Amino acid sequence: MAKNSIQEYISLKGADDFQQFYNRNLMTVFRYIYGLHGGPIEEVEDLTAETFLRAWKSRHQFLGSESAGLGWLLKIARNLIIDAHRCQKRRGYPEDIEKHIVQSNLQNPEQQVMTQEQIRTLWSLLNTLSDLQREILVLRYLLGWRVQDIGNHLGVKENTVSVYISRAIKRIRREWPG
C-alpha cells in the first residue's frame, strides 16, 4: 500500500480518535437528521446522540476513510429515523423551526409571518416527496454534497440523482401556492 493510501484511512478504536471524528461530523449528522425527520429539536438531538452511541459501540469494526465514516454514520442515522417514523407514524412540520430561522433573520413582524407561512408550505411540500427524493434534497442542499457524492453514498447513478433533484424541485415549484 502506498503512503497516501494509508493516510486516507482512519481508525476509530481509541477514544481520542473517536472524539475527533465526533467533533468533525456532529453538525453534519444533526442537519441530516433534522432534514429527514423534522422536529421537535429534542428528538433530533436524541437521534443524533443515538447515532453516535451506536457508532461508538461498533467502532472497532470500522476501518475506512473519513468520508466512508460519514457515510457509515448517515446510514445509522437513516435507520434510526426509519424506526422513529414507524413508531410515530408521522412526519410533520417542525414547530420550533420558526424560532431558529424566522426570529434570527428578520425584524419586521409582517416579514416574520410571511416567512413562517413559506416555511410551513415548503415543509408540507417536502413531506409529499418520496423518502429517497427528500433524502437526496437534504444531502444536496442542507449538507451541500455534490451529486457524485450523493450517488456514491446511496448507490445510485449520478444521472439518476440529478433527475431526482430536478423533478423534486419542479414539483415543489409547480405546487407552490401563488
Q: What is the pLDDT of residues 140-152, one digit of tens each?
A: 988 888 999 999 9
Query: In terms of domains, do 77 and 8 share one?
Result: yes
Can you give the pLDDT at residue 105? 54
Secondary structure of the chain in HEC code, one letter for each residue: CCHHHHHHEEECCCHHHHHHHHHHHHHHHHHHHHHHHCCCHHHHHHHHHHHHHHHHHCHHHCEEEHHHHHHHHHHHHHHHHHHHHHHHCCCCCCCCHHHHHHHHHCCCHHHHHHHHHHHHHHHHHHCCCCHHHHHHHHHHHHCCCCHHHHHHHHCCCHHHHHHHHHHHHHHHHHHCCC
Residue 3 has what pLDDT?
39
CB neighbourhood size of 158 (10 A):
14
Nine cell digits for residue 88:
410515530
Q: How high is the mean pLDDT of the chain?
A: 81
Task: Label residue 139 left, alpha or beta by phi (over 0 means left) and psi (-120 to 50 means alpha).
Answer: alpha
Last residue of a domain, one of 88, 109, 136: 88
pLDDT tens digits, 70-116: 999 999 999 898 888 776 654 444 555 545 444 555 567 777 778 77
Domains in the chain: how many in total? 2
Decide: 21 and 71 in contact? Cβ < 8 Å. Answer: no
Query: Do residues 52 and 129 share a domain?
Result: no
Residues 63 and 108 in one domain: no
Q: Which pLDDT tens digit goes with each residue over 33-46?
A: 998 887 788 999 99
Q: Are 113 and 163 in contact (CB under 8 A)?
A: no
Is the domain of 82 the same as that of 125? no
Residues 77 and 108 placed together within one structural domain of the fold: no
Q: How far apart are CA 149 and CA 155, in angstroms?
A: 10
Range(s) of the domain holding residue 22: 3-88
State the pTM of this model. Answer: 0.67
**CA–CA distance, 39 with 28 (Å, rounded to integer):** 16
Residues 44 and 70 reside in one and the same domain? yes
What local confidence, expressed as pLDDT, does residue 46 receive? 94
